[in-house]
A and B are shown apart, each in its own frame.
Chain A
Amino acid sequence: MPAKTLFEKIWNAHLVHQEASKPDLLYVDLHLVHEVTSPQAFEGLRVTSRKVRRPDLTVATVDHNVPTWARNLPITDEVSLKQIQAMDKNAKDFGLIYYNMQSPGQGIVHIIGPEQGYTQPGMLIVCGDSHTSTHGAVGSLAYGIGTSEVEHVLATQCLWQAKPKTMEVRVDGKLPFGVTAKDIILGIIGKIGVDGATGQVIEYTGEAIRSLTMEGRFTVCNMSIEGGARAGMIAPDETTFAYLRGRPHAPQGRDFDLAVEHWKSLPTEPGAKFDRLVELPAVTLEPFVTWGTNPGMVAAVSGKVPTVNSFQSEADRAAARRALEYMGLEEGIPIQEVGIDRVFIGSCTNARITDLRAAAEVVKGRRVNAKVYAMVVPGSTAVKKQAEAEGLDQVFKDAGFDWREAGCSMCLGMNPDFLKPGERCASTSNRNFEGRQGKGGRTHLVSPQMAAAAAIAGRFVDIREWSKNQGG
Chain B
Amino acid sequence: MEPFKRHSGTVAPLNRVNVDTDQIIPKQFLKRIEKTGFGPFLFFDWRFQDDGKTPNPKFELNAPGYKGASILVAGRNFGSGSSREHAPWALLDYGFKVLIASSFADIFLNNCFQNGILPVTLPEEQVQQIMTRAQTRPGYMLSVDLEHNLIEDDHGFRATFQIDEFRRYCLLNGFDDIGLTLQHADKITAYEKKRKPF
Counting CB contacts under 8 A, is A147 at the interface? yes
B191 contacts A39, C-beta separation under 8 Å: no
Separation in Å of the A199 CB from the closest CB of chain B? 17
B181 contacts A40, C-beta separation under 8 Å: no
Separation in Å of the B1 CB from the closest CB of chain A? 7
Counting CB contacts under 8 A, is A268 at the interface? no
A 69-80 to B, binary, CB cutoff 8 A, 1 in contact else 0: 000000000010
Q: Which secondary structure dominates where chain A touches chain B?
A: helix
Counting CB contacts under 8 A, is B80 at the interface? no
| Interface stretch (choices A153-161, A310-318, A419-427) | A153-161
**Residue of A whose beta carbon sits closest to that of B37:** A43
**Residue of B whose beta carbon sits closest to that of A50:** B178
Counting CB contacts under 8 A, is B182 at the interface? yes
Counting CB contacts under 8 A, is B6 at the interface? no
Counting CB contacts under 8 A, is A48 at the interface? yes
B196 contacts A16, C-beta separation under 8 Å: no
A53 vs B196: C-alpha distance in the bound complex, in angstroms?
17
A158 vs B187: C-alpha distance in the bound complex, in angstroms?
11
A 249-261 to B, binary, CB cutoff 8 A, 1 in contact else 0: 0010001001100
B184 contacts A152, C-beta separation under 8 Å: no
B182 contacts A156, C-beta separation under 8 Å: yes
B 161-193 to A, binary, CB cutoff 8 A, 1 in contact else 0: 000000000000000111001101001100110
Counting CB contacts under 8 A, is A105 at the interface? no
A16 contacts B184, C-beta separation under 8 Å: yes
B177 contacts A43, C-beta separation under 8 Å: no
Provided the pairs A25-B181, A48-B178, A158-B181 are in contact, do residues A17 and B187 lie with their beta carbons within 8 angstroms? yes
A318 vs B182: C-alpha distance in the bound complex, in angstroms?
49
A27 contacts B178, C-beta separation under 8 Å: no
**Residue of B whose beta carbon sits closest to that of A154:** B178
Choice from B34, B191, B198 contacting A262 with Cβ under 8 Å: B198
A158 contacts B85, C-beta separation under 8 Å: no
Counting CB contacts under 8 A, is A163 at the interface? no
Separation in Å of the B123 CB from the closest CB of chain A? 31
A47 contacts B187, C-beta separation under 8 Å: no
Provided the pairs A40-B33, A79-B31 are in contact, do residues A25 and B184 lie with their beta carbons within 8 angstroms? yes
Residues of B within 8 A of A152 (CB): 177-178, 181
B36 contacts A27, C-beta separation under 8 Å: no
A16 contacts B187, C-beta separation under 8 Å: yes
A151 contacts B187, C-beta separation under 8 Å: no
B 4-44 to A, binary, CB cutoff 8 A, 1 in contact else 0: 00000000000000000000000000010111100000000
Counting CB contacts under 8 A, is B102 at the interface? no
Choice from A47, A148, A156, A255 contacting B188 with Cβ under 8 Å: A156
Residues of B within 8 A of A290 (CB): none
Separation in Å of the A142 CB from the closest CB of chain B? 16
Residues of A within 8 A of B36 (CB): 43, 47
B184 contacts A44, C-beta separation under 8 Å: no
Residues of A within 8 A of B192 (CB): 27, 157
A152 vs B31: C-alpha distance in the bound complex, in angstroms?
21
Provided the pairs A16-B184, A122-B198 are in contact, do residues A148 and B114 lie with their beta carbons within 8 angstroms? yes
**Residue of A whose beta carbon sits closest to that of B174:** A48
Counting CB contacts under 8 A, is A82 at the interface? yes
A258 vs B182: C-alpha distance in the bound complex, in angstroms?
33
Separation in Å of the A128 CB from the closest CB of chain B? 13
Residues of B within 8 A of A43 (CB): 33-36
Q: Which of A25, A160, A262 has the most CB of B within 10 A?
A: A25
Residues of B within 8 A of A259 (CB): 198
Residues of B within 8 A of A148 (CB): 85, 114, 177
Separation in Å of the A25 CB from the closest CB of chain B? 6
Counting CB contacts under 8 A, is A83 at the interface? yes
Counting CB contacts under 8 A, is A86 at the interface? yes
A381 vs B111: C-alpha distance in the bound complex, in angstroms?
39
B184 contacts A40, C-beta separation under 8 Å: no
Counting CB contacts under 8 A, is B197 at the interface? yes
B178 contacts A156, C-beta separation under 8 Å: yes
Separation in Å of the B138 CB from the closest CB of chain A? 31
Residues of A within 8 A of B31 (CB): 79
Counting CB contacts under 8 A, is B148 at the interface? no
B85 contacts A147, C-beta separation under 8 Å: yes
Residues of A within 8 A of B155 (CB): none
A188 vs B44: C-alpha distance in the bound complex, in angstroms?
46
A182 vs B176: C-alpha distance in the bound complex, in angstroms?
42
Separation in Å of the B37 CB from the closest CB of chain A? 9
A197 vs B128: C-alpha distance in the bound complex, in angstroms?
47
Residues of B within 8 A of A16 (CB): 184, 187-188, 191
B191 contacts A251, C-beta separation under 8 Å: no
B33 contacts A83, C-beta separation under 8 Å: yes
A156 contacts B198, C-beta separation under 8 Å: no
A157 vs B31: C-alpha distance in the bound complex, in angstroms?
27
Residues of A within 8 A of B176 (CB): 48
Counting CB contacts under 8 A, is B53 at the interface? no
Separation in Å of the B56 CB from the closest CB of chain A? 27
B188 contacts A158, C-beta separation under 8 Å: yes
**Residue of A whose beta carbon sits closest to that of B83:** A146
A 221-245 to B, binary, CB cutoff 8 A, 1 in contact else 0: 0000000000000000000000000
Counting CB contacts under 8 A, is A120 at the interface? yes
B181 contacts A255, C-beta separation under 8 Å: no
Choice from B177, B184, B197 contacting A255 with Cβ under 8 Å: B197
5 tightest A-B CB contacts, nearest first? A39-B33, A259-B198, A156-B181, A43-B35, A86-B33
Give me 21 A-to-B residue pairs in the complex whose CB atoms sit less than 8 angstroms apart, sorted by A's number.
A16-B187, A17-B187, A25-B181, A27-B191, A27-B195, A39-B34, A40-B35, A44-B35, A47-B36, A48-B176, A48-B178, A53-B188, A148-B85, A148-B177, A152-B177, A152-B178, A155-B181, A156-B181, A158-B181, A158-B184, A251-B198
Given A25-B184, A50-B178, A160-B177, 15 more contacts at CB 8 Å? A16-B184, A16-B187, A27-B188, A27-B191, A27-B195, A40-B85, A43-B35, A53-B188, A152-B178, A155-B181, A156-B188, A157-B192, A158-B181, A259-B198, A262-B198
